[in-house]
Amino acid sequence: MRTNRSIRSIRSIRSIRSLRTPGGLSLRLDVRAVAVVALLLLAALTASVVLIGTGDFPIPAADVLKTLLGDGNAGQEFIVNELRLPRVLVGLLVGASLGLGGALFQAISRNPLGSPDVLGLGQGATAGALVMIVLFSGSATQVTLGALAGGLATGFAIYLLAWKRGVHGYRLVLVGIGVSAIVTAVNGYLLTVSDIIDAARAVVWMTGSLDGRDWEQVWPLLGLCAVLVPLVLANARGLRMMEMGDDVSYALGVRVERVRLLLMIAAVLLTATATAAAGPVSFVALTAPQLARRLTRSPGPNLLPSLCMGAALLVTADWVSQRTFGAGQLPVGVVTGVLGGVYLLWLLVTERKAGRI
Amino acid sequence: MSPQKEPLPEKRGTANENTRRSTVNRLSAENVTLAYDQRVIAEELSVEIPDNSFTVIVGPNACGKSTLLRALSRMLKPSQGRVLLDGQAIQSMPAKKVARTLGLLPQSSIAPDGITVADLVGRGRYPHQGILRQWSTEDERVVQESMTQTGVAELAERYVDELSGGQRQRVWIAMALAQQTPLLLLDEPTTYLDIQHQIDVLDLCAELHEEQGRTLVAVLHDLNHAARYATHLVALKGGRIIAEGAPGDIVTAELVEEVFGLRCQVIDDPETGTPLVVPAARKARTQTRTDLEKVAATEAS
């Protein structure tokens, strides 16, 4: 009986391994989650290399790798390092930020629908960008700043409106949907008053595209991720406890309000910056965390897997759009929109069957 | 096991009759006013949780018993007064330090999708862990022990959402046990359970109290359960303590009528000898009510 019990208990923590040092340090690793992260990273990098090689001037993957390692010929070096690499890097970073931002929002609201797409952060950023494009005919930098400001303002508004002794799941989602509807109306108004050239520019921006992204977009994204990702991961354990409800996590010694505020700010910043860089690429933030969760099959916010999934998804979607329609023809947001829309439908149907909505 | 007690600060004595001084006990509330936004639930309330007791708080609905428990577990900040844990104001103590001394089993808890029993119980170790100390052999031992004590070791690899209500409650109690706190607060741990599981959970509480010397504080709905299991009973009404003490000393027909507005007899529980509240028959109750009304009418005329 006793041996039977201990065998069972070992199986129960099946894929979780602990690393311990004599000094009392111990790490807990979910082997499956680590494998998922590694595979997704590999997939994202492979897709990146293939994507760099794709275009009017195709370059074989081996040459891409050689050039990236600083060993290519001058022509390839220009195409790879100056034209295509920054675009792919922006894609990776935007995907990663959206994946992580989405995972944070969904964990905080304890609801897969509580993602930035549904909450209207994308629309908020769009409103900021449209104001710049339509009212001021602003430069690319001004549009980016406008989008950033719009996203942050929307995030702030949602937080204030949803605040009542802490932000709670459905309240956050419902307020977000309301805010999203209002901002969408504003966007529609801005488009109708704009002239045809501005409108065309606005529509391309609104679909979400990686076209013509260069090093200028890479650095701010990279800097922000370098600060926020470690900060978020350091608070991941608290967030994991918060899955069980505010009371339980409070009782376990998590400073619930502090962790939640900090992580919401981080999530809004990540999403707003990503949107400012590439436009509102739809549904990555919604789908990446859910797909990652299905791969790791582990409870918890799955932050790192979601981040890698977002990056892999976005770069792959960009490759699909380029491959099918040629560079610059089809914005990546269309592909993620189609894939994500199908996923959203499926999610709504299963949630409904499970009786959660 | 118990951390060293720090010297208790000198308390100011006040003329307020409700004030009791905490000199020995680890957990107490001192003149607390409890309110949600503007709605005041209790004013100037003081209560002592005797060490090593199984304290049960009873009272009619909305009397503030859960609110008091929330204040004692620092979930609700008193708008006045303070809750003391080991002589320190609980709100100003580091969150994890409190969580290593005082555990709480709240009413609202959500089992994450697809979590196993062992994983959920393991989360009770959070206050003992850090980024560099994520899962020690001690954690593993305590989790196993907590599951054995609550009789859920057999279920270790099962998913929490496929368990019955009674089993699930045991798992949550196991999680609170894994926190290894000398004080454990339980907010209506028997609600939504059928009778055998209610007794089951209460037996488990009594065991934790008697065999491990933990101090337990529970809010219970059933007065008879409270009288049977509590070593110390606190009767609350309208945010005020009406009586407190050993159930055998304080549970009388008068008290029940005062607190719950229910006419009853109190007899000895044939099993345990503790007080057993038997509500008066409906006819007897309506009879007295009409009698009273007659008396009132005669007096008025």
CATH for B81 = 3.40.50.300
- Give A4's pLDDT tier (boundaries 50, 70, 90): very low
- Give A56's pLDDT tier (boundaries 50, 70, 90): confident
Q: Which comes out higher in pLDDT, residue B55 or A58?
A: B55
Contact call for B119 and A299, based on CB within 8 A: yes
Residue A302: strand pairing partners: none
Domain annotation covers residue B36: yes
What ipTM was predicted for this assembly? 0.82
- Give B19's pLDDT tier (boundaries 50, 70, 90): very low
For the residues B154-163, what does the mean pLDDT come to? 92
Does pLDDT of A113 surpass 90?
no
Enumerate the residues of chain B whose CB falls inside 8 A of the CB of residue A347. Answer: none
In this prediction, residue A3 carries a pLDDT of: 38
Nearest CA in chain A to B95: A253
Q: Are A121 and A154 in contact (CB under 8 A)?
A: yes
Domain annotation covers residue B297: no
In this prediction, residue B23 carries a pLDDT of: 55
Contact call for B109 and A300, based on CB within 8 A: no
A48 to A92, A317, A326, B252: CA distances (angstroms) = 8, 11, 16, 78
Reduced to 3 states, what is the DSSP secondary structure of residue B159?
Answer: strand
- Is the sign of the CA dihedral A193, A198, A204, A208 positive or negative? negative
For the residues A263-274, what does the mean pLDDT come to? 93
Q: How far is residue A81's CA from residue A27's CA, in Å, rounded to a whole number?
A: 39
Domain containing residue A63: 2-353
CA-based nearest distance B145→chain A, Å: 12
Enumerate the residues of chain B whose CB falls inside 8 A of the CB of residue A247. Answer: 75, 104, 106-109
Does pLDDT of B14 surpass 50?
no
How many structural domains are present in chain A?
Answer: 1
CA-based nearest distance A94→chain B, Å: 28
Enumerate the residues of chain B whose CB falls inside 8 A of the CB of residue A240. Answer: 123
- Give B18's pLDDT tier (boundaries 50, 70, 90): very low
For the residues B99-110, what does the mean pLDDT come to? 91
- Give A357's pLDDT tier (boundaries 50, 70, 90): low
Nearest CA in chain B to A12: B157
The least confident of A74-88, A249-263, B62-76, B80-94 is: A74-88
For the residues A299-314, what does the mean pLDDT come to? 93
For the residues A28-37, what does the mean pLDDT come to? 87
pTM of the model: 0.85
Q: How far is residue B279's CA from residue A165's CA, in Å, rounded to a whole number?
A: 40
Domain annotation covers residue B142: yes
Instruction: Count CB neighbours of A28 within 10 A.
Output: 18
**What does pLDDT average to over chain B?**
87
For the residues B217-238, what does the mean pLDDT come to? 95
Domain annotation covers residue B284: no
In this prediction, residue B286 carries a pLDDT of: 76
In this prediction, residue B37 carries a pLDDT of: 80
Contact call for B133 and A26, based on CB within 8 A: yes
CA-based nearest distance A347→chain B, Å: 15
Contact call for B116 and A12, based on CB within 8 A: yes
Q: How far is residue B152's CA from residue B149's CA, in Å, rounded to a whole number?
A: 8
The least confident of B16-20, B131-135, B277-281 is: B16-20
Nearest CA in chain B to A300: B112
Contact call for B99 and A251, based on CB within 8 A: yes
How many CB pairs (< 8 A) connect A and B? Answer: 112
In this prediction, residue A315 carries a pLDDT of: 92
Does pLDDT of A170 surpass 70?
yes
Does pLDDT of B182 surpass 70?
yes
CA-based nearest distance A24→chain B, Å: 7
For the residues B81-97, what does the mean pLDDT come to? 93
User: Which percentage of chain B shows pLDDT scores above 90?
Assistant: 68
Domain containing residue B233: 27-261
Does pLDDT of A183 surpass 80?
yes
How many structural domains are present in chain B?
Answer: 1
Q: Are A313 and A97 in contact (CB under 8 A)?
A: no
Q: Which comes out higher in pLDDT, residue A333 or B195?
A: B195
CB hemisphere CA count around A255 (13 angstroms): 13
- Give A13's pLDDT tier (boundaries 50, 70, 90): very low
The least confident of A10-19, A146-155, B162-171 is: A10-19
Q: How far is residue A277's CA from residue A116's CA, in Å, rounded to a whole number?
A: 16
**What does pLDDT average to over chain A?**
85
Continuous segment of H or E residues that includes residue A332: helix A332-353
In this prediction, residue A331 carries a pLDDT of: 77
Contact call for A241 and B123, based on CB within 8 A: yes
Residue A209 maps to which CATH number? Answer: 1.10.3470.10
Q: Which comes out higher in pLDDT, residue A353 or A237?
A: A237
Does pLDDT of A281 surpass 90?
no
Domain annotation covers residue B138: yes
In this prediction, residue B125 carries a pLDDT of: 94
Contact call for A299 and B113, based on CB within 8 A: yes
Does pLDDT of B4 surpass 90?
no
In this prediction, residue B143 carries a pLDDT of: 94
Domain annotation covers residue B19: no
CA-based nearest distance A344→chain B, Å: 19
